[in-house]
Amino acid sequence: MKENGNKKQEQLEQFRANDQGKEMTTNQGLKLSEDEFSLKAGERGPTLMEDFHFREKITHFDHERIPERVVHARGFAAHGEFELYESMKDYTSAKFLQDPSVKTPVFVRFSTVAGSRGSAETVRDVRGFATKFYTEEGNFDLVGNNIPVFFIQDAIKFPDLIHAVKPEPHNEMPQAASAHDTFWDFVANNQESAHMVMWHMSDRAIPRSFRMMEGFGVHTFRFVNDQGKAHFVKFHWKPLLGVHSLVWDEAQKISGKDPDFHRRDLWESIEMGKYVEYELGVQLIEEEEEFSFDFDILDPTKLWPEEDVPVKIIGKMTLNRNVDNVFAETEQVAFHPGHIVPGIDFTNDPLLQGRLFSYTDTQLIRLGGPNFHELPINRPVCPFHNNQRDGYGRQTINKGQVSYHNNSLANNTPTPVSAAEGGFVHYQEKIEGHKVRRRSDSFKDHFSQATMFWNSMSQPEQMHIIDAFSFELGKVMSKSVRQQVVDMFSNVNAEMAAAVADAIGVTPPGAKESNITKSSPALSQLNTKKTPYTRKVGVIIGHDFNGPDIHVVLNALKAEGIEVQIISEKFGNIKASDGTELMIDQTFLTSDPVLLDAIYIGGGDGGNAKFNQDVTYYLEEAFKHFKTIGTTHEGKNFLKEKMVNSSGVVIGNDIHQFAHKFIEAITMHRHWDRKIV
Ligand code: HDD
C-alpha cells in the first residue's frame, strides 16, 4: 500500500522505527557496549545497584503487559481504505460520504467476544467487526459485530451478560465457550436474548474467515443532511467473497491445530496482495415511518428484513496493509461508538446510549489515562484543539498561557464553530416523558424475529442449529437449566425444541403452533455469493506422479486465484514420472485437512502403508466436513465406496474436464446434500 495520499499512513510513518542494523542504546540514547552480562562486583559476585542498563531493561519488561479488553480481548486488525460509490449528500452531511473521488483511511479490528487474549479463534462466538474511519472531520468508529442483533436491550445488563458467558468465576472454565451453565441460565432468564441466541447457534458463529463474514452496526443510527433532515439508518458490511462458515467438528479441531487460524488467513491474504474487500450498505427509514413496523426500530434485538428495507450499497472498503506492530496498533486502538462526525447521530436505543459511556471508561483503565487519543493509531488525521491538558503520558506540547474558555487573552480561542463551519450540532429530537426505570412495551416481543430467522434457514442450516443447541446444552450440568432453555426455545419453533430435548434428555415441550410464517431469504448463507477465489486446496501426490497432468490442474487452480498447498510425506522435492519435480509445501504432519477447503489426490506412489494411512485420513476428514474432493490417476484408488457417487467428489479421466469440474465444486464451498454416514 502506498503511504502517499493516505493521510493516516503518512502520519503513522513518523512514528515507525526500524531498529534493524542500528547500534544498541538505552532509552536515553546512550550507546551500549554490552547486553548479556549484568554489572557485578567480581565475576562471581552480586549485581550492583548502579547497573542502570539492567534496571531499565528489566523495569520495562516488568511493565510490558496492559489489561486485556474486558470483552473482545482476542482480536486482529489491518489497515485499508474506504471509497464511496455515490454521494450520500441527500441523506447525510458527513464529509467522507459526499465525494466518490475521496478515499478515507480505515483501521479494522476483528475479534471474538468471550475468550481471553490468547484463546483460540474458531470457537463458537460472535465476532467483533470494528472500523475506524479517519475522516477529515475526525474519527468515525463503526463498532459492530458479525451478527445484526444483540443479546440484551439495555446496556445496564451488559455486565450480567458478560459475567454469565465468561469462564465461571469459581474455576475459570470453560475458556472462550458459551457451552456452560451460567451462560444458558442467563439466556433462560433473560428471554430478550432469544433472537441473538439463534444466530449464535447458527453457522454465523463459526465463520470460515474474517474475510467471509458480514458486519453490522447493529444499532439504529441517524443520518442528518445539510438541511437538517434525518433518516434512521443501519450499517452493513458485505464481504465480496460471500458469507461462509466452518462446520463445528472442524472448528473445534482447528482450535488445536491452528489457534491463530483466522488471523493467519487475514494476514496471509493481505501479504499475498489478495486484498480483503467489503461493500458498505445502508438501510434507510424515513423519520415519519418510525412506527410503521411490527417491531420497534430502536430495539437492538431486531433487524430490518432486507426484503422490506433494501440495503443500498454505497461504497467499498479494502484492507490492504498489515500492521507493523500488533501491540502498538491492534492492542492500543481504542474504538468508541460515540466517535461520530457531523451528519451522523445517535438514536435512543438504550443499548447504544449505555455504550456511549462504557468505551471511554474502559480505555482509561486499559490504556492507563486520558491521553490514549494521542497514541499514533488513535490520532485523527485532522488537527485537534481544545483546553484539555496534562495527564499520564501527555505528548502534545500545548503552547501559551491560556487553557480555558471563555478567555480574552487568546481571543477566545480555540473557538467552537457553527454547523455551517463544520461544528457538530446534535439532532434536535423532541423528547417528552417521565423519568422511569422501565422498558417500552414495544420491546417485549422476543420471539417473532427469532422464528423468522429459523424459518429463513435452509435444511442443513437448521440441522446445524439443532446440533449446536444439543452440544451447548449437553455441556450444561443443571438439568433444570437445560429444561428451561428447551421450554424457552419452543416459543421459537416447537420441532426444533423437541429435537434438542430428545438429544439432551429433557422433557419435550408441548406442541406449539407459531403464527410466524415470515422468512427472510437474505439471512440464509445458502443464498450468499460463491467464488473459488483464495480458497485453499491441498494437493496430495506421491512419487512418479503424472507431471504434465498435475500441472494442468495446478495451473487451472492458480488461474482462479486458488491457493495450492502441495502435500506429501516429507519436505523436499518430489519427482514426476517424466522427471520433472515439484516442491513440497507441507507434510501430512504440518498440514491438516481441517486447515484446507478442498483436497486433490493426484496420484503417484507413496511407497508405504503410512502414506496410504495419511491419505485416507485426509480424505475421511474432508468428506466428513462436506468439502470438495478431487481424484485422478492412482488417487482414485483411495476413494471409499460411500464417496464414489457422492456430491462434491469429482473423479477425473480427462484432465482438463476434471480441472473445470473440480473448480466448480470448490466454488460451492461445501456440499451439504452429501450423505456422510
Ligand atoms: Fe462492546 C468492545 C461491539 C455492546 C462495552 N464492543 C467492543 C468491541 C466490539 C464491540 C467490536 C471491540 C472493539 C475493538 O476491537 O477494540 N459491543 C459491540 C456491539 C454491541 C456492544 C456490536 C451491541 C450492539 N459493549 C456493548 C455494551 C457495552 C459494551 C452494551 C457496555 C455497556 N465493548 C464494551 C467495552 C469494550 C467493548 C467494555 C471492551 C474493550 C473496549 O470496549 O474497547 O467498553
Which of 93, 83, 88 minimizes the C-alpha distance to 342? 93
Q: Sort strands 312-322 and 344-345 into parallel, antiparallel or unpaired.
A: unpaired
ipTM score:
0.99
Give, using CA atoms, the residue closest to atom 20 of ligand 1: 144
Distance between Cα 71 and ligand 1 center (Å): 7
Query: How high is the pLDDT of residue 513?
Result: 78
Q: How far apart are the first and last CA of the chain?
A: 48
Distance between Cα 361 and ligand 1 center (Å): 11
Q: Could you list the residue range(s) of the whole structural domain that residue 195 is in?
A: 75-374
Q: Is the pLDDT of residue 413 over 60?
A: yes
Residue 511's alpha-carbon distances to 332, 450, 483, 497, in angstroms, are 52, 17, 15, 10
Residue 3 counted as domain residue: no
Q: Is the pLDDT of residue 2 over 50?
A: no
The answer to whether residue 405 is catalytic is no
Which atom, in ligand 1's list, is nearest to the CA of 358?
Answer: 44
What is the mean predicted confidence (pLDDT) over 426-437?
A: 95
Give, using CA atoms, the residue closest to atom 29 of ligand 1: 355
Number of domains in the chain: 3
What is the mean predicted confidence (pLDDT) over 450-474?
A: 98
Same domain, 142 and 81: yes
Residue 326 counted as domain residue: yes
Distance between Cα 166 and ligand 1 center (Å): 14
> Per the residue annotation, which of 145, 190, 378, 491 is the catalytic one?
145
Query: How high is the pLDDT of residue 512?
Result: 78
Cβ atoms within 10 Å of 220's Cβ, excluding its own: 24
Question: Which CATH number goes with the domain that contains 484?
Answer: 1.20.1370.20
Pocket flag, ligand 1, residue 532 (CB < 6 Å): no
Residue 472 counted as domain residue: yes
Query: How high is the pLDDT of residue 3?
Result: 56
Domain final position from 511, 526, 541: 526
Which of 158, 166, 102, 112 minimizes the C-alpha distance to 134? 102
Pocket flag, ligand 1, residue 335 (CB < 6 Å): yes
Pocket flag, ligand 1, residue 113 (CB < 6 Å): no
Q: Is the pLDDT of residue 1 over 50?
A: no
55-74, pLDDT tens digit by residue? 999 999 999 999 999 999 99
**103 phi/psi in degrees, rounded to 5:** -105, 135
Pocket flag, ligand 1, residue 359 (CB < 6 Å): yes
Distance between Cα 359 and ligand 1 center (Å): 7
Question: Which CATH number goes with the domain that contains 147?
Answer: 2.40.180.10
Average pLDDT, the chain: 97
The contacts of residue 490 (CB under 8 Å, 6+ apart) are: 497, 498, 509, 510, 512
Same domain, 490 and 586: no
Euclidean distance between CA atoms 447 and 197, whole angstroms: 11
Beta bridge partner(s), residue 134:
139
Residue 415 counted as domain residue: no
Same domain, 343 and 471: no
Share of the chain above pLDDT 90, in %: 97
Query: How high is the pLDDT of residue 562?
Result: 98
Beta bridge partner(s), residue 345:
222
Q: Is the pLDDT of residue 647 over 50?
A: yes
Domain final position from 481, 505, 526: 526
Residue type, 247: V
Instruction: Please count the residues of the chain.
Output: 677
Residue 359 counted as domain residue: yes
Same domain, 535 and 522: no
Residue 350 counted as domain residue: yes
Q: Is the pLDDT of residue 585 over 50?
A: yes
What is the mean predicted confidence (pLDDT) over 366-370?
A: 97
Same domain, 127 and 208: yes
Pocket flag, ligand 1, residue 145 (CB < 6 Å): yes
DSSP 3-69: STT-HHHHHHHTT----TTPPPB-TT--B-S-SSS--BSSTTSPBPTT-HHHHHHHHHHHT---PPP
Q: Is the pLDDT of residue 479 over 60?
A: yes
Give the alpha-carbon dihedral of 221, 223, 229, 231, to 10 degrees.
-60
307-353, pLDDT tens digit by residue? 999 999 999 999 999 999 999 999 999 999 999 999 999 999 999 99
93-102, pLDDT tens digit by residue? 999 999 999 9
100-140, pLDDT tens digit by residue? 999 999 999 999 999 999 999 999 999 999 999 999 999 99
* For ligand 1, mutation pick of 69, 301, 361 (most atoms within 8 Å of CB): 69
DSSP code at position 99 = -
Same domain, 517 and 566: no
Distance between Cα 606 and ligand 1 center (Å): 52
Alpha helices for 538-577 (secondary structure H): 547-559
Pocket flag, ligand 1, residue 114 (CB < 6 Å): no
Same domain, 501 and 562: no
Same domain, 567 and 647: yes
Pocket flag, ligand 1, residue 354 (CB < 6 Å): yes
Which of 48, 20, 69, 43 minimizes the C-alpha distance to 366? 69
Residue 70 counted as domain residue: no
Which atom, in ligand 1's list, is nearest to the CA of 300?
Answer: 24
Distance between Cα 184 and ligand 1 center (Å): 21
142-157, pLDDT tens digit by residue? 999 999 999 999 999 9
Same domain, 455 and 576: no
199-251, pLDDT tens digit by residue? 999 999 999 999 999 999 999 999 999 999 999 999 999 999 999 999 999 99
* For ligand 1, mutation pick of 266, 335, 366 (most atoms within 8 Å of CB): 335
Q: SS3 for 202?
A: coil
What is the mean predicted confidence (pLDDT) over 271-298?
A: 98
Residue 92 counted as domain residue: yes
* For ligand 1, mutation pick of 71, 146, 301, 372 (most atoms within 8 Å of CB): 71
Query: How high is the pLDDT of residue 510?
Result: 83
Euclidean distance between CA atoms 179 and 201, whole angstroms: 11
Distance between Cα 365 and ligand 1 center (Å): 15
CB 414 within 8 A of CB 44: no
Residue type, 268: E
Query: How high is the pLDDT of residue 677?
Result: 80
Query: How high is the pLDDT of residue 4?
Result: 55
Same domain, 220 and 307: yes
pLDDT-based confidence at residue 618 (cuts at 50, 70, 90): very high
Domain final position from 458, 493, 526: 526
Question: Which CATH number goes with the domain that contains 580?
Answer: 3.40.50.880
Same domain, 517 and 555: no
> What Rg do the C-alpha atoms of the chain give, in angstroms?
28
pTM above 0.95, yes or no: yes
The answer to whether residue 79 is catalytic is no
Alpha helices for 209-308 (secondary structure H): 248-257, 261-271
> Per the residue annotation, which of 53, 72, 180, 336 is the catalytic one?
72
Same domain, 457 and 337: no
pLDDT-based confidence at residue 437 (cuts at 50, 70, 90): very high
What is the mean predicted confidence (pLDDT) over 605-619?
A: 91
What is the mean predicted confidence (pLDDT) over 595-616?
A: 92
